[in-house]
Structure 1
Amino acid sequence: MRQRGRLAALRRAAGHTQEQLAHLMSVDRSTIHRWESGASTPRPWQIDKLAVLLEIPQREMRSVFFGDSATGPAPDGGAERTAPAATHAAPLTALPGPRDSREPDPAPGRLAAVDALIGDWAAVNAGPSPAATSLWVTGEEIAVAEGMLGMFRQLDHTHGARHHWRQVSSYIDNELDALLRRPAADEHVARQRAQLTVGFCELAGYQAVDTGNPDRAQDYYQRALTLTTATNDQAYGAYLVAVNLAHLALHRGHPQTALRWAASAHAAAGTTASPSTRAAITAVLARANARLLREHEATALILEAEQLLNTADPHDEPPWIRYFTHAYLADEAAHCLHDLGRAPAARTQLTDALHGVGADRVRRRAIDAALLAATWLRSSDLDQAVAAGRDAVAFAARTGSGRCVERVAGLLADMRHHGDYAPVRDLRDFVRAVLPEADTLAVTMTSDS
């Protein structure tokens, strides 16, 4: 039974309810329930189809039902096996005749077993066969969907989530879901499809953070992480734990949780993950330490991340981590230094980040410019703070990023004690004109403090 419980976990990892999987298998939902509870066992061809739908190797799928040492059912490939209580019936040696009225009714358990068998048979044989109505998902279709994911990522980097999160969500719920409902042409395509789904879930989670919905973000990240476990993609899983989930914990004000999660990812990545992946994970571990004011640990970890990134070859890196360049590491280092109260050092890193991140990364530039303004404010240089603040507002106004609005609003709230200074008033007027939601949020922040 403990072994059989893996089937339910694999189904959930693939994103299916019992009813959805039953539809794909052309059986009743109660059949899926019996398979997951150990009351019955699928036929051999059904086990093979489950492996395709749940995107795992056939041998692993068979081990769910027959144990890790088993290679599958008996060579005769007979009908579905039922639970032990239903397997003691004597084999039929001849077709049964009419039942004698004096014969007692069969045991209820045996009747239930036969009823279930007939129900499964009727469901499987009702209507056209799955092969006649389903088309295999091919590598070409996966490539098209990967192109869509790349486009959505670029739109998100440039314009933020507010303008495009609905399109991403709609694509996941419709086109991607349709790909998941159809069988894959082979195990390689099935793995590609799982990785594609992870990428879409990661992007949707990031956009949920950007639009102020961290709970929805966590749901997407958890689904992505479950898929990496089902496909044995340990490196991507470690990345999700650190860069997405631990970052989310920092965003929600839980540095101890972020530290624990990032440390788990750092240990799991080991030396098998790519240099850029390990560098990104190490940088998040540094961020968590810096938030806890552990300067020595944070500094050592940033240096470790830099050394790892120096050994990375972008052509050898997985597509989902190629964005993590020295400019992005400089951004992480700047946040660490700012949290540690090292404003001048943070500004040096921010200069590298702003110059190297790329003109199309408007959201990143807005966030870094706002942080630069905060470092100048901490150094009591109001003119420089206002100048950097105007850059942040100009960048943020070009995006639909909730995070950018929060950063600008936080800067304005921090400047509330300098409201009589003319450049600060001009900055506030500029925000009211081009980014009014940041001004409104700043008023709320000020009143709450």
Structure 2
Amino acid sequence: MAVRRTGLAKARKAAGYTQESFAEAAHVDRATIARWEAGERSPRPYKRSMLARLLKIDMAKLDELLTVADVEPAPSPGKTSGVLLPVVVGGRRVLIPLAAKTVANSELGTLLEGQHPEDDGPVNQTGSLSEVVSTVNRRSLLARGIAIAALPRLGLDELQRVASAMEDPRRYLDGPVIDYFRRQLVLCKTDDGSLGPAAVLPVVLGILGAIETHAREVTPDVRRSLLLVGADAAEFAGWLYRDSHDAATAGFWHDRAIEWAQEAGDMPMQGYVLLKKSQMAYEERDGLRVLTLAQAAQYGPWQLPPKVRAEVTQQEARGMAMLGEPFSAVQQKLDDARRLVDVADTGDERHAHLGMYYDEGAHTLRVASCYVEAGKPAQAAALFADVLNTQALSRRDEGYFRARRASALALSGEPDDAAQEGLTAMGLVAELGSSRTKRELTRVLETLTPWANRSGPRALREAVRS
């Protein structure tokens, strides 16, 4: 049962706010403020510094006001079982709910068998790794920002090293531990395409929490190295929230990525995040920001890897198409981007990973998107099909680009084919939980309105709204 946070309500009133005016200042609705004060919900970590500023209190006091009555409601009968995963983000521990399917996919089921996530007792004494986990204070690890979901990927030596680094970061947080964070991030990026954002986000937030907490406690050189990984992880977290259709949180992590990249002296990462911001603007169909953010990425004071420059150039073309520029100018930009795809990268190898996924297939998909915006949906549908037929995309990307192809088919006046492609995409949404793909399918339904009574569009509407 939730307990009211009377102290939080008093602090709001002392600062001169009604629930309505406080909601407006905090960029939420009044019902959200009411739920915070009723103890039913907690503010997301990225909002807390702003809330402390509005209430004219420090973060420690805000944490006290929020923690005093933090009582987790019991799960409702009939709900899917799972666990609450503690991670540290923004200097504060947060409980992230994991569904049973996610637990199974991440091997948490074995690690947590018979345990509550808060327990310090033995987890599973059947293997040597579990014995080491039992000898390390698991609460200490969690309190210092390591997501328990990441532990199954630790070798015995790594586990001891990371545990020591969390206990005494200035002494033990060194290159091998930073390399561990980097490897975990690569694995998360690999898993994302097949498992979806919910399966990998806890580990990514755990990495970010560890970096954010311990970057304050190390030498300047180690801090810069940590922030290099942190900027990469923050950009990826932005992507995961973007795929979950949470633009506000995605924007927070994109901004954090730029801040850390600036402090670490990572110039190309700053341009890369501007590209990601441009792509997120496309999902809002904000053509002006698509173009200006892409141009900012293109002409900033950094040298982007060739494949990233290709993607940025293509993004400029998309913005131009959205703003009604002549098709010849759009096509010229696309041709410029195509020439960059095959250019060898002779720059700093630390940044090669930024464009490693942008190949011929990725370029073709982006060209198809430009053709949709340029009023050539039939050509776009054909290009989408060319890449989808290779079966080279991840499950998540397949769902998204099938939704995009459904949109192109609908715009081409092919409602039945559009509905069939949309239903296939919706099946992948149900499997992986990509809100971004589902949003594209709602746009398909809008285009299919003139054919709403046909069996295919009707079936798609029922699937999307179910």
TM-score range, shorter chain: 0.5 to 0.7
| Rounded Cα–Cα distance in structure 2 between residues aligned with 1:405 and 1:215 | 18
Equivalent in the alignment of 1:257: 289
For 2:203 and 2:337, the matched residues in 1 are separated by: 35
1:280-323 deviation per Cα after TM superposition (whole angstroms, max 9, x unaligned): 21122112111112233322111111100021459966123211
Superposed CA deviations along residues 350-393 of structure 1, whole A, max 9, x for unmatched, are 1233245734x222111111111122222222332233222212
1:340 to 2:366 alignment: no
Match of 1:389 in 2: 422
1:163-193 deviation digits (Å, cap 9, x = unpaired): 44344324422x3334423325x83x54432
Partner of 1:349: 383
**Equivalent in the alignment of 1:410:** 443
* Distance in 1 separating the partners of 2:304 and 2:329: 22
1:275 maps to what in 2?
306
Q: Matches of residues 104-253 of structure 1 in structure 2 within 5 Å?
A: 134-173=170-209, 175-184=210-219, 187=221, 189-242=222-275, 244-253=276-285
Q: 8 Å contact 1:328–1:357 — kept in the other structure?
A: no
**Contact 1:309/1:326, CA 8 A, preserved across alignment:** yes
Distance 1:386 1:341 in 2: 20
Q: Does structure 2 retain, via aligned residues, the 8 Å contact 1:137–1:182?
A: no
Q: Kindly indicate whether the alpha-carbon contact (under 8 Å) linking 1:282 and 1:302 is maintained by their aligned counterparts in 2.
A: yes
Using the alignment, how far apart are the partners of 2:193 and 2:168 within structure 1? 42
Aligned AA for 1:403?
R
**Equivalent pair of 1:235/1:277 in contact (CA under 8 Å):** no
SS at match of 2:432: coil
Deviation at 1:197, TM superposition (A): 0.3
Of stretches 146-155 and 316-325 in structure 1, the one that deviates more from structure 2 is 316-325
1:290 alignment partner AA: A
Q: Which residue is equivalent to 1:5?
A: none
TM-score (norm 2): 0.59
Distance 1:439 1:228 in 2: 41
Q: Distance in 2 between matches of 1:302 and 1:408?
A: 26
Q: Deviations over 1:96-139 (max 9, x none)?
A: xxxxxxxxxxxxxxxxxxxxxxxxxxxxxxxxxxx988424211
The SS at the match of 1:168 is helix
CA contact (8 A) 2:305 2:355 kept: no
* TM superposition shift of 1:232: 2.7
Q: Corresponding residue for 1:443?
A: none
Structure 1 counterpart of 2:399, from 366, 376, 401: 366
Letter in 1 for 2:184: M
Q: Is the 8 A contact 2:305 2:354 kept in 1?
A: no
Question: 1:387 & 1:308 partners in 2: Cα distance?
Answer: 35
Matched, 1:304 2:340: no
Identity percentage of aligned residues: 19
Bigger Rg over Cα: 1
Q: CA deviation at 1:427?
A: 3.7
Deviations 1:317-355 (A, max 9, x none): 612321111211112111110011101221232123324
| Residues 1:191 and 1:254: Cα distance change in structure 2 (over 3 Å) | same
CA RMSD of aligned residues (A): 2.8
Specify whether residues 177 and 357 from structure 1 end up closer, same or farther in structure 2 by C-alpha distance, changes over 3 A only. Answer: farther
CA contact (8 A) 1:373 1:388 kept: yes
8 Å contact from structure 1 (residues 159, 401) kept in 2? no
Q: Which amino acid aligns with 2:201?
A: W
| In 1, Cα distance between equivalents of 2:355 and 2:251 | 20
**For the residues of structure 2 that align with 1:354 and 1:424, how far apart are their CA atoms?**
22
Deviation, 1:213, is 2.0
C-alpha contact (below 8 Å) 1:136/1:183 kept by paired residues: no
Using the TM superposition, give the Cα deviation of residue 154 of structure 1 relative to its aligned residue in structure 2, in angstroms.
2.1
CA–CA separation in structure 2 for the residues paired with 1:183 and 1:160: 34
- The residue number in structure 1 matching 2:57 is none
- SS of the equivalent of 1:369 reads helix
> 1:258/1:382 Cα in 2 relative to 1: closer, same or farther (>3 Å)?
closer
CA distance in 1, matches of 2:230, 2:400: 28
Q: How many residues align?
A: 299
Look up the SS of the partner of 1:181 in the other structure: coil
Question: More deviation in 378-387 or 396-405?
Answer: 378-387
SS of equivalent to 2:197? coil
Shift of 1:204: 1.2
Q: Does the CA-based 8 Å contact 1:194-1:231 persist in structure 2? A: yes
Aligned to 1:288: 319
Question: Does residue 321 of the first structure (1) align with residue 355 of the second (2)?
Answer: yes
Q: State how far apart, in whole Å, the 2-side matches of 1:269 and 1:177 are.
A: 27
Cα 1:284–1:247 change in 2 (3 A) is same
Amino acid at match of 1:276: K
User: Do the aligned partners of residues 251 and 421 (structure 1) sit closer, same or farther apart at CA in structure 2, a change above 3 Å counting?
Assistant: closer
Unaligned runs of 5+ in 1: 1-16, 18-130, 432-437, 441-449
Gap change, CA 1:376 and 1:253, over 3 Å in 2: closer
Q: Which residue, out of 439, 442, 448, partners 2:465?
A: 439
**Are residues 141 and 423 of structure 1, via their aligned partners in 2, closer, same or farther at CA, if it must alter by over 3 Å?**
same
Q: Which residue of 1 aligns with 2:33?
A: none
8 A contact 1:255–1:291 mirrored in 2:
yes
Q: In 2, are the aligned partners of 1:269 and 1:278 still within 8 Å (CA)?
A: no
Mapped contact 1:353–1:368 kept (Cα < 8 A): no
1:1-40 equivalences in 2 (<5 Å)? none
**Which residue of 1 is the match for residue 99 of structure 2?**
none
